[in-house]
Chain A
Amino acid sequence: MSVSLDDITPNNVGMLKKLVELSTLDFSSDWFTEAQSSEDLFKFGYFGEIPVGCVKAKPLMAANASDKSAPMGLVIEFLEVLPAYRGLSIEDKLLEHIETVLRERHLHTLWVLSPLEWASATLEKRGYFSAGDIAELQTGYEKRLPAWEKKL
């Protein structure tokens, strides 16, 4: 069965809601609206014709940044693949996509933010390392989440 990526639309945002529901995270309704306009910073991962995972990233600004067009890097706020479909390279494809976007935007640092025990092997394999909790990353979350970091 083939693995592929596809965009989010107002019509399949329900799929994202389902995936968030299954994770340990919780997002506001604004977050879902934002996800729909994320363009290349959001992708669904399809196994065959069924969406079974997704990734959502956003540019990360320094806390005291004056120039909004120069982010520090990208942060993946949400990465999820249904348990039964993990390890089938879907998470690889999703990460790879965001890494490509990072490169295209001439940025160098990518953080992954979420309690992703299940993905740690993949992240390590792809060259991410544990970065502890970084102050700039924590805005907007109730819990302080550990982050992974990768420098390109």
Chain B
Amino acid sequence: MPPKKRLGKVLETNKEDAQFREALKLYESKQYRKALKILDVLLKKSPSAEAFSLKGLLLYNLNELTEAESYILKGIAKDDNNVIVNHISGIYYRAVNNLKEAAKWFSGAVEHGSSNKNILRDLSSVQSQIRDYKGLVKSRLAYLEDQPAYRANWTALATAYHLNKDHAAAERVLTKFENMVKGNYSEADLYEQSECTLYLNRIIGETGDHQRALDDLERIKDWARDGVAVLESKAFYLTSLGRNKEASVVYRELLQRNPDNQDYYLKLEETLGTTTKPVAVRKALYEKLGRFYPKSEPVKFIPLTFLTGDDFKQAAESYILSQLKRGVPSAFVNVKPLYRKKANVPVFLEIVTKFFENEAAKVSPLTWCWTAYYLALHHLHVKNLSKALEYINLAIDHTPTLVELYVAKARILKHFNKLQEAAEVMDSGRSLDLQDRFINSKATKYYLRANLIDSAVKTISLFTKNDEGAVNGIKDLHVMQSIWFITENGEAYYRLFLAKLAELEEFNRSADADDEETIITRNVLEDEISEFKALSAKRFIAITKIYDEFFSDQMDFHSYCMRRGTPRAYIDTIKWEDRLYGSPMYVRAIMGLAKIHLDVDRDIKEGRPFGFETAPMLPSSKRTKKAKSQNAKRREEVITKTAPYSEDNDAIGLNYIESLYKDKNGVDLLVPYYDKIDKELICTNLLGFKIFQIQKKYLVSNGCVSKLSELTNDKHPHIAPLLLELKLVATNDESIVAPLKKLLLLGLGKRFPAFAGEDESSKLVSKVVDHYLSRSTPETACAITEILQKLLEFVAEQTKSDLENKLEAIESAVDPYALSKIQAFRVY
């Protein structure tokens, strides 16, 4: 055996070496305390780098986190070329989720000649996780060279090349392995073989050489096990090669397998070229297809998207009435996409109303009921709320044991902005069927919308695992990553925070003097305000933690998928994870969190401290002592009711909020969240603008406006107030230097020419208003609110009254629920 190559400083004596190895062994068998004892003795005699590092790792495992890092750093400082130090540092940083550092030290260990090839595996997992594909190729290759006998390592290298966009190399690796094995597979290997060859085919397809991909598909089609994938790829390649006729045959074959896939029909039409032909041709095509697949849903639905006039009416009638007669609950939802075309709406109304009045009851009472339900949803959709309510009440009087009706009625009431009543109706529906998880969740959500958090928690807790001692399901909902609940919960706390804040203001106005009782009541109110604000932030942060967990959950798959031989699914997963932080729910949580941070920032700027410390101190009396203990008890109860994790020393989140005030910084902590979310979203750029304005990074906030304009075809109403804000800064802010000012104006003028001209402010504003605020949408209303509240000094009297009129017009046109949202819009 050749001697091991070790660059690090070798331990002084054999005895100490043996002691270190013993400690290492104890660490591996998880006997951390024993190991630590040996190390402490060793460190006294000869403090080596390796021993420092190992002590750091042991302390980490014993949960002494702050001390742990200092020892890791000591080890590195003493000898950062030592392979053991490198390896241990890698393990430590991976454990604390600092993956960049982990990758650095793992690769350090490899570079310094560690003989432990498993490090390469750890390294490649970490590199995959931080998307260092260049490094990944190297580590995967090195591992394959060490262990070429396993297919997993070949697959792993191919995915690394693929992710690194080196398709040719990926193809080479997969082909080489296949050639090596030459068909010698056991039965158990056949699935993996099928997956890997389909993966190879996908890689060839991605290079754009579809002819070669097609040829390759011919080679594997007989034994590849994913028949649908083979046919779908084949049809795709044929279409892209312009061989439409052959492609159409494949799509017909696919339809035979699954006649309910709408996509196949549309693609079939593409290949037949019927989309550009007269409607009659398309109609005939679907009639013919309908004879082949009489039970297929798309065959009946797709013609509704292109037929017009009497043809449409006829087809719509047969489509919708057949569903109503069968009592299909989702009849309305099925045709809802067709409501986008305004001309269709009265047609549906006419068909269904006529049926409702003349025929429905004759078919069956249930058909009558479902038809009334349809009509209620129709009127809800077209925002004719009173009519909707009328129909749903008819249905409920008729069949009061049908749960769906209560869901619909609650929705209608929600749009009336009668949130509490809506929640109660939903709950009465829930009481009919207690094992229906759907309506349980709905009732919970409606309670949260009505800010009735206790009722909501009580309801959802019927479906959670409430461990011994748990008063409700909050902890379980966090363990089970119930994103919708946590988000809605956070938003409800935020609304309660605002409501309590308003209550406090009112109280302060009406309270005459600072007598004892007034101070006591005020203190409780102030505490509640802080609690609600903190709890709201706590929930939103819980969401970010869940998404971080989703992201780190991939870690195992970097090796698992290779062993299981599922590279196609692996690549899909990676792509999904790359878009993870653009998920609507994540973005929503960040927007919720952002509001709180921006509130804190405003408090700091306006001199309001955390927890209202300016309130007069209470004199020490019997009454105040009692009040204090009552309040402390109340706080305890809040903690028991709301704590999301078993071990959490900041259960409500007050420390988090307090730290924001202490650091005098509301927004800097937001930046890491902002950095993660998808920049192609409108709300991201609106948030970015606010953050960078506060940080006085005006060029970056200008960039956000440009992006917003690019994303919305320069139409988004919020661009108006943002532009005016930038203009205000460029003209008024004395703190920015002249060149920057010039650059800012230049940038503004480039994209929005009106700003470059010598227009007077008032003219400019009316230009901006005309351009961006012409549509009557709730968003326009919010943008107008922002201008009126914040940027009035720019606005001429006439424009101001124009804007006010416009706002009023929008507010009177929307339903009460949408109105409440406009009115709740907070300007920062």
- A interface list, Cβ under 8 A from B: 1, 9-12, 14-15, 17-19, 22, 47-48, 50-52, 82, 84-85, 88
Contacts and interface: CB of A to CB of B under 8 A. Distances in A.
Given A1-B327, A15-B401, A50 B366 contact: yes
B768 to A, nearest CB: 57
B434 A84 contact: no
B434 to A, nearest CB: 4
Interface of B: 327, 364-366, 368-369, 398-402, 431-435
8 contacts: A15-B433, A18-B401, A18-B432, A48-B327, A52-B399, A82-B400, A84-B399, A88-B364
B370 to A, nearest CB: 10
B162 to A, nearest CB: 49
A19 B434 contact: no
B399 A82 contact: yes
A12 B433 contact: yes
A14 B433 contact: yes
A11 B401 contact: no
Contacts of B366: 1, 47-48, 50
Given A18-B400, A82-B401, A11 B435 contact: yes
A86 to B, nearest CB: 9
Nearest to B403: A50
Contact of B431 (A14, A50, A88): A14
A84 B364 CA distance: 9
Contacts of B364: 1, 47, 88
Given A1-B366, A14-B433, 9 more contacts: A1-B364, A11-B433, A14-B434, A18-B401, A18-B432, A19-B401, A51-B401, A82-B398, A84-B369
Contacts, number: 50
A50 B366 CA distance: 9
Nearest to A46: B401
A84 B398 contact: yes
A59 B419 CA distance: 47
Given A11-B435, A12-B432, A14-B434, A22 B365 contact: no
B372 to A, nearest CB: 11
A14 B368 CA distance: 24
Contacts of B432: 12, 14-15, 18
A55 to B, nearest CB: 15
A82 B327 CA distance: 18
B365 A84 contact: yes
A88 B399 CA distance: 15
A22 B433 contact: no
A50 B400 contact: no
Contact of B434 (A12, A50, A88): A12
A17 B10 CA distance: 82
Contacts of B398: 82, 84
Contacts of A84: 365, 368-369, 398-399
Nearest to A85: B365
A127 to B, nearest CB: 27
A98 to B, nearest CB: 21
Contacts of A47: 364-366
Nearest to B369: A84
Contacts of A10: 434
Contacts of A51: 401
A52 B401 contact: yes
